[in-house]
Structure 1
Amino acid sequence: MKMLIAAAALGAIAAPAIAENVQFEVDYRDINLASPEGQQLLDNRIDKAARKACGYDKVPVGSRLPSRDAKACYEELRAKAQKQFAVIIDRETKGG
């Protein structure tokens, strides 16, 4: 299965350059979410997808750090994804 993660507008800290609705998908069909290893693998996939969706690794010229907007986007998407997957992980660890 894949889960689509979407972020609403990022509010006052977002610049117009960041899309109002940033989305990404995370495939977790092949992961045992009941195991700590599977949960770590899922977290790695969420991290990678959020970085790509927000352009986190594209640093501005003359800097080694991501833009403030990319960082805010990344943090919001990760938090939303972790919240959505927490329900699934809870169900999987309880044998559901």
Structure 2
Amino acid sequence: MKKIIAGIFAATIASSAFAASSEPQGVTREVHFGGLNLANAEGEAMLNERITRAVRQICGQRVFAPLQDAMAQRECYRKVFASARPQVELAVAKARSGNRYAGDPAVIAIAPTGGKGL
């Protein structure tokens, strides 16, 4: 009986630690796209793949998790992707219109809380 209670206690601590860390505050990742041609679908797809990898670094990637943890991770993914969306749209629009300037950064900053300057 003590082993069962200890196991449940350990599982509870592990799951609550994941829930607390599933949305790390102040964590950002920079996704560079300087070598990509965002004027075509292939370049945009490569950028989206880079963003997906960065989101997994921020939010984690657990296959089997308790429902509460899975929901927290999904919310983290939603927030981080939302922080990237306007930056991606702007970069793609500039590339397709030819209005890209030398001083424009070729980087997208993503974070669970909206990223830099959002």
TM-score, structure 1 length as denominator? Answer: 0.69
CA distance, structure 2, for counterparts of residue 72 and residue 88 of structure 1: 25
Higher helix share goes to which structure? Answer: 2
Q: Is the 8 A contact 1:22 1:54 kept in 2?
A: no
Query: What residue is the counterpart of 2:58 in the other structure?
Result: 53
1:1-96 equivalence runs, <5 A: 16-17=20-21, 18-55=23-60, 57-59=61-63, 67-96=70-99
Share of identical aligned residues, percent?
A: 29
Q: Is the 8 A contact 2:38 2:96 kept in 1?
A: yes
CA distance, structure 2, for counterparts of residue 25 and residue 59 of structure 1: 25
Instruction: Give unmatched runs, 5+ long, in structure 1.
Output: 1-14
Q: Is the 8 A contact 1:54 1:73 kept in 2?
A: yes
1:75 to partner: Cα distance: 1.4
Higher strand share goes to which structure? Answer: 1
State the structure with more CA Rg.
2
Q: Is the 8 A contact 1:54 1:74 kept in 2?
A: yes
1:19 to partner: Cα distance: 2.1
Q: Residue type matched to 2:97 in 1?
A: K
Root mean square deviation, CA, Å: 2.2
Instruction: Give unmatched runs, 5+ long, in structure 2.
Output: 1-18, 100-118
CA distance, structure 1, for counterparts of residue 26 and residue 87 of structure 2: 17
Q: Is the 8 A contact 1:31 1:42 kept in 2?
A: yes
CA distance, structure 2, for counterparts of residue 24 and residue 86 of structure 1: 18
User: Secondary structure of 2:76's match?
Assistant: helix
